[in-house]
Amino acid sequence: VEYQVLAMLSTSPERTMRLSALAEVTNASLSRLSHLFKRLEVRGLVRREPDPVDGRFTNGILTDDGFKTLAAAAPGHVAHVRSQVVDVLSAEQLRRLGMAADRIMSRIDTSEIN
Amino acid sequence: VEYQVLAMLSTSPERTMRLSALAEVTNASLSRLSHLFKRLEVRGLVRREPDPVDGRFTNGILTDDGFKTLAAAAPGHVAHVRSQVVDVLSAEQLRRLGMAADRIMSRIDTSEIN
DNA sequence: AAAGATTGACTAATCAATCTTT
DNA sequence: AAAGATTGATTAGTCAATCTTT
């Protein structure tokens, strides 16, 4: 999830995303994301800013250090996922795995009582 | 994993299995399983015994209390998994999901350097 | 030495309660 | 009140080191 957060931020405009949006795309709870983001912040990889438009939102921003750290980690991370997951399945199998996972996650999301 | 441990024990001869075997079927590390088993033991759901044949093994045994707890939890647990996973996919999709997961897990297992 | 298992320290995730802004 | 987020306490998982038995 830490990698996902850094990666999502790196491809976003201004390298910025709302924490609630990050929680949603990573399928993490808001509480988990808040703790996780704090750890990244302590390490200097991200920072927070209240949304100037709507103060309820908090914007997460990737720092230059965070971008460098992501860039350094990416090749190894991608290679690892490829060798452990992607290369083990056919293109068709991988597509079907993704579809099944999406179905299950959306079912869980809609049935949850918060 | 706690549920899996209780369920596996309940269908084993003498309601007994080696901890290393439990770790393998649940895809948990031996360390994780040891901690988890200790928690179940504190709750009185399982107990340990050294294997009389080979003292390196530890046998995990389901207690009567553990069996009752499992029996009480099973209907709800099964219904939940069914509604969140099984019922969301077709029989064919479910079979393919299982096969893909098995492939990935066995790849991870064989590439691991302990 | 190797296999099975355990331990303790550290890190991460969960859960419920709380706070802020709208 | 509702949405977004945070906090602190508890529980769980990880990692490396260690112990026991073969």
Mutation for A interface: B81, B82, B88, most A CBs within 10 A: B88
B83 at A interface, C-beta within 8 A: yes
pLDDT, tens only, A94-107: 999 999 999 999 89
Spatial CA neighbour of B104 closest among A27, A1, A82, A100: A82
pLDDT at B4: 98
Protein residues with Cβ atoms closer than 7 angstroms to any atom of nucleic acid strand D:
A 18-21, 23, 30-31, 34-35, 37-38, 48, 51, 56-59; B 1, 28-29, 31-32, 35-36, 39, 50, 54-56
Instruction: Count CB neighbours of B2 within 10 A.
Output: 16
Per-residue pLDDT tens for B17-40?
A: 999 999 999 999 999 999 999 999
Is A22:A33 a contact under the CB 8 Å cutoff? yes
Give the gap in angstroms from C-alpha B15 to the nearest C-alpha of chain A: 33
Each residue's pLDDT tens digit, A29-67? 999 999 999 999 999 999 999 999 999 999 999 999 999
Task: Dig out the tokens for A64 from the structure.
Answer: 């230059």
